[in-house]
């Protein structure tokens, strides 16, 4: 392995791993300068910069809906996808995942630094087009750095192409990196066009980049900034909640809604298919489902009641009744998001205990938990390749971010409550009880509001890749990831309740930051290993 910056510089200079370069307009071009000289070239490198990491075709290590497999909400069965070991805690400074992600982020930073430094070279008739692409690429660079400093803390920070010697920079403190990123983000936002593009809906516009910056402001406790950006997106008037929560993640609503702020569609992946059914769906008859990531009992039990109460604090039924029948008096987002034993799929009842069924829980391509995501798993794709559109960010996140940011500032205004109510009402909760403006909520402490908003995020965004970041920033991972991963619960012949056991998990206090891979430390002596590794 080469030093990450040597690696990224060499890749930038010759672009040997860049798919866009392989498809370059001039097949005889052998240097960066020879192919980077037209608007088409600029568009091409922007596409590749997204596709290789931000909107991958089918790389399960990077796909957003696989990332809950790092958390207590899901089990990702393939070790090579990296999520499995992150979740169960079997990690150290030699774990391949950490070299993989770090190198990939820094390689792309190096590419983008080179593109931005040469942004004036391609010939464009309309200068505004150049400035749009420049702002988009700068936004992507900010995203890579947000991700890297969120994972590793203190990191090297370069904004220009660098020689080998220049690249040997000591890491900057995380707080300093974040200050720089948020300052840069304000400038980028001012230069991005407003409104959704008719094409290239995965490219940043003003609102989608605001939403991304809002996300990291929330993650890093910059609550005033998070609330301000969320309110600005709301006040743009461009987005609204889609009326049917379940349809939003199926063909019925995925392509025709005003909730998705940034899109992950066929144009984004540069292919004819998206693969969510294959990755998440069940092995049904001869279908393609691989059950690569499946929900756990922890997520199932997290769905509150129809009235907006935790299942262990409900006068209608006992917690055990809810555990044994997850659909009983439950938040409708459960049935829209998850399916399991006894549910109907493709007209047939799921029986995870039938040894003759491909959905038998011990089969390789079945679910060890006995549950599957229904979200992103259209029945239409059971025997075909799909082309479902995903929302990389959506309006519900804006609403719940505003509410959480205000709660964390202990400034729970009417707009914050209205944001929660909008999400709950669209979900189908019984608002005679779940309306947070009711007098029953007037005596809530800040901690009760925190518990409410955290669970609201968990169920609203189940399977969408948010949970790991949330348990890390809330500092609860050491609790929720130090318990066994369990699955479907039933009463055995002896009358005892039993849940399927998937695996044991541990989370050490130092796992809140990822380690620098041992080889990186040997090659880059200025890097400082994170404590505990």
Q: Quick one: DSSP state of residue 526?
A: T
Cα separations (Å) of 241 from 200, 260, 394?
Answer: 22, 9, 8
Residue 169 pLDDT: 84
Residue 26 pLDDT: 54
Residue 22 pLDDT: 37
Q: Residue 525: how many CB atoms within 10 A of its CB?
A: 9
Residue 24 pLDDT: 47
Beta bridge partners of 345: 348
The domains located in the chain, with CATH, are 39-192+512-523 (1.25.40.390), 291-310+318-377+482-507 (no CATH)
Quote the CA–CA distance of 307 and 428 in Å, as a whole number: 10
* DSSP symbols for 19-72: HHHHT-S-TT--SHHHH--BHHHHHHHHHHHIIIIIS-SS-TTT-GGGGGGGST
Number of H helices, E strands in the chain: 22, 10
Residue 432 pLDDT: 98
Quote the CA–CA distance of 63 and 280 in Å, as a whole number: 12
Q: 């992600």: which residue's tokens? A: 101
Q: Is 307 exposed, middle or buried (0-12, 13-18, 19+ CB in 10 A)?
A: middle
Q: Are 89 and 507 in contact (CB under 8 A)?
A: yes
Of the candidates 533, 532, 530, the one whose C-alpha atom is nearest the C-alpha of residue 150 is 530
Of the candidates 471, 468, 457, 475, the one whose C-alpha atom is nearest the C-alpha of residue 401 is 457
Assessment of whether the complete model's pTM goes beyond 0.95: no
Of the candidates 506, 533, 513, the one whose C-alpha atom is nearest the C-alpha of residue 521 is 533
Per-residue pLDDT of the chain (533 residues; tens, 9 = 90+): 344 444 443 333 333 334 444 344 555 555 677 778 999 999 999 999 999 899 998 999 999 999 999 999 999 999 999 999 999 999 999 999 999 999 999 999 999 999 999 999 999 999 999 999 999 999 999 999 999 999 999 999 999 998 767 777 899 999 999 999 999 999 999 999 998 788 899 999 999 999 999 999 999 999 999 999 999 999 999 999 999 999 999 999 999 999 999 999 999 998 889 999 999 999 998 889 999 999 999 999 999 999 999 999 999 999 999 999 999 999 999 999 999 999 999 999 999 999 999 999 999 999 999 999 999 999 999 999 999 999 999 999 999 999 999 999 999 999 999 999 999 999 999 999 999 999 999 999 999 999 999 999 999 999 999 999 999 999 999 999 999 999 999 999 999 999 999 999 999 999 999 999 999 998 888 999 999 99
Residue 51 pLDDT: 93
Residue 524 pLDDT: 86
Of the candidates 36, 32, 15, 204, the one whose C-alpha atom is nearest the C-alpha of residue 124 is 36
Residue 28 pLDDT: 52
Residue 165 pLDDT: 72
Cα separations (Å) of 126 from 123, 129, 257, 358, 476?
Answer: 9, 6, 31, 57, 50
* DSSP symbols for 361-410: TTSTTS-TTSEEE-TT--GGGTTS-B---EEEEEHHHHHHHHHHHHHHTT
């Amino acid at each position: 392995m080469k030093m990450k910056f040597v690696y990224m510089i060499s890749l930038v200079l010759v672009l040997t791993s860049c798919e866009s370069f392989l498809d370059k307009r001039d097949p005889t071009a052998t240097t960066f300068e020879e192919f980077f000289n037209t608007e088409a070239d600029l568009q091409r490198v922007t596409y590749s910069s997204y596709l290789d990491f931000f909107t991958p075709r089918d790389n399960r290590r990077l796909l957003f809906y696989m990332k809950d497999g790092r958390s207590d909400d899901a089990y990702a069965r393939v070790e090579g996808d990296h999520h499995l070991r992150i979740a169960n805690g079997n990690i150290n400074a030699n774990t391949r995942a950490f070299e993989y992600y770090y190198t990939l982020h820094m390689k792309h930073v190096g590419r983008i630094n080179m593109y931005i430094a040469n942004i004036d070279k391609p010939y464009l008739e309309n200068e505004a087009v150049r400035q749009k692409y420049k702002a988009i690429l700068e936004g992507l660079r900010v995203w890579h750095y947000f991700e890297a400093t969120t994972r590793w803390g203190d990191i090297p920070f370069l904004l220009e192409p660098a020689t080998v010697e220049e690249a040997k920079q000591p890491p900057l403190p995380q707080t300093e990196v974040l200050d720089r990123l948020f300052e840069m983000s304000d400038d980028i936002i001012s230069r991005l066009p407003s409104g959704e593009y008719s094409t290239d809906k995965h490219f940043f516009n003003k609102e989608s980049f605001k939403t991304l910056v809002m996300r990291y402001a929330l993650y890093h406790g910059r609550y005033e900034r998070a609330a301000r950006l969320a309110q600005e997106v709301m006040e743009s008037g461009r987005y609204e909640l889609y009326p049917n929560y379940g349809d939003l993640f199926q063909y019925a609503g995925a392509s025709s809604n005003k909730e998705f702020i940034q899109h992950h569609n066929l144009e984004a992946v540069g292919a004819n298919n998206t693969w969510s059914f294959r990755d998440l769906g069940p092995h049904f008859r001869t279908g393609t489902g691989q059950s690569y990531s499946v929900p756990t009992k922890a997520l199932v039990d997290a769905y509150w009641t129809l009235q907006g109460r935790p299942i262990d604090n409900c006068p209608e039924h006992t917690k055990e009744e809810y555990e044994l029948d997850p659909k009983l008096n439950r938040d409708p987002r459960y049935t829209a998001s998850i399916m399991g034993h006894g549910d109907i799929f493709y007209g047939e009842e799921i029986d995870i205990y039938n040894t003759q069924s491909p959905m038998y829980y011990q089969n390789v391509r079945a679910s060890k938990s006995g549950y599957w995501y229904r979200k992103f798993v259209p029945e239409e794709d059971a025997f075909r390749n799909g082309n479902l559109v995903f929302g990389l960010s959506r309006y519900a996140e804006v609403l719940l971010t505003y509410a959480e940011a205000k709660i964390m500032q202990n400034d729970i205004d009417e707009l914050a409550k209205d944001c929660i109510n909008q999400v709950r009402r669209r979900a189908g909760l019984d608002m005679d009880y779940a309306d947070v403006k009711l007098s029953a909520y007037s005596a809530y402490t800040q901690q009760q509001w925190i518990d409410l908003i955290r669970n609201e995020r968990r169920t609203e965004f189940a399977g969408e890749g948010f949970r790991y970041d949330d348990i890390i920033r809330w500092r609860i991972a050491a609790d929720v990831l130090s318990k066994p991963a369990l699955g479907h619960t039933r009463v055995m012949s002896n009358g005892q309740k039993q849940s399927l056991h998937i695996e044991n998990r541990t989370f050490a206090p130092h796992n809140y930051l990822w380690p620098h891979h041992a080889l990186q430390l040997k090659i880059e002596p200025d890097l400082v290993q994170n404590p505990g590794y």
